[in-house]
């Protein structure tokens, strides 16, 4: 009987030691394992939407009391899905809008003789796209005149340099004239006339 008690106590003691041994604090972590193989590429995302913007306007100058055709390009817009409308400002009317491609169109312009000269914004609307070409078009006079000296005096001598900006309409580029107001000659005008292309 005593031998069974001793074996029982011994077994109980070994179990207690095992429990005490298992209840200690964690040791330091071991070294990291090797990295796994790279996963397969995911599916491609949708194409990004570009920012719609107006591009070039060629030619970008219209002369007073003249008509012309201009070509307009844009980016990230589709002129074929919605009829574009254009606004060149007061004194410039548009007609005959032709869509050449999703991003290119041609429009016929008529510049009024009394339109304000200078650079102006051009507004283009195509469906939901509203584009603006800041100062993209200029209205100008057909002749650029420079008077030297700048003030014309009676009996004085002045030089006038006239540059023709209207390519299709040439003029005589030589001559001297006398300026007459109410029958009285104000002075002699020496005129030098050239065309804008040389």
Of residues 121, 3, 5, 111, the one with CA closest to residue 54 = 121
Helix (H) or strand (E) holding 16: helix 2-22
Summarize pLDDT for 74-106 with one digit per residue, the tens. 988 899 998 899 999 999 999 999 999 999 999
| Model confidence, pTM | 0.60
The tens digit of pLDDT for each residue in 100-125 reads 999 999 999 999 999 999 999 999 99
> Between 64 and 176, whose confidence is greater?
64
Strand, helix or coil at 179?
strand
Name 33's Cβ contacts closer than 8 Å, sequence gap at least 6: none
Q: Per-residue pLDDT tens for 14-58?
A: 445 445 445 567 778 888 888 888 888 878 766 555 677 788 999
The answer to whether residue 163 scores a pLDDT higher than 90 is no
Separation of alpha carbons 92 and 3, rounded Å: 121
Residues 6+ apart with CB under 8 A from 59: 68, 70
Q: Strand order in 176-181's β-sheet?
A: 143-148, 156-164, 184-195, 176-181
94 and 107 in contact (C-beta within 8 Å)? yes
As a 3-state breakdown, the chain gives helix, strand, coil percent values, each rounded to 5, of 10, 45, 40
Q: What pLDDT is attached to residue 10?
A: 46
Average model confidence (pLDDT) across the chain:
77
Q: What b/e readout covers 125-143, taking b as 16+ CB neighbours within 10 angstroms?
A: ebeebebebeebbebbebe
């Amino acid at each position: 009987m005593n031998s069974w008690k001793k074996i029982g106590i011994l077994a109980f003691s070994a179990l207690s030691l095992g429990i005490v041994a298992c209840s200690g604090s964690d040791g330091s972590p071991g070294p990291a394992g090797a990295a796994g193989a790279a996963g397969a590429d995911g599916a491609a995302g949708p194409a990004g939407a570009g920012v719609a913007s107006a591009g070039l306007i060629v030619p970008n100058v219209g002369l007073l009391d003249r008509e012309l055709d201009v070509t307009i390009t844009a980016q990230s817009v589709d002129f074929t899905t919605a009829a574009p409308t254009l606004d060149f400002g007061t004194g410039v009317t548009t007609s005959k809008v032709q869509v050449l491609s999703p991003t290119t169109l041609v429009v016929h312009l008529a510049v009024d003789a009394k339109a304000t000269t200078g650079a102006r914004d051009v507004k283009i609307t195509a469906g939901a796209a509203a584009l603006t070409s800041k100062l993209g078009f200029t209205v100008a006079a057909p002749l650029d005149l420079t008077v030297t000296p700048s003030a014309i005096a009676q009996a004085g001598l002045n030089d006038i340099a006239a540059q023709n900006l209207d390519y299709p309409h040439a003029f005589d580029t030589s001559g001297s004239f006398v300026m007459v107001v109410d029958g009285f000659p104000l002075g002699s005008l020496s005129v030098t006339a050239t065309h804008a292309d040389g």
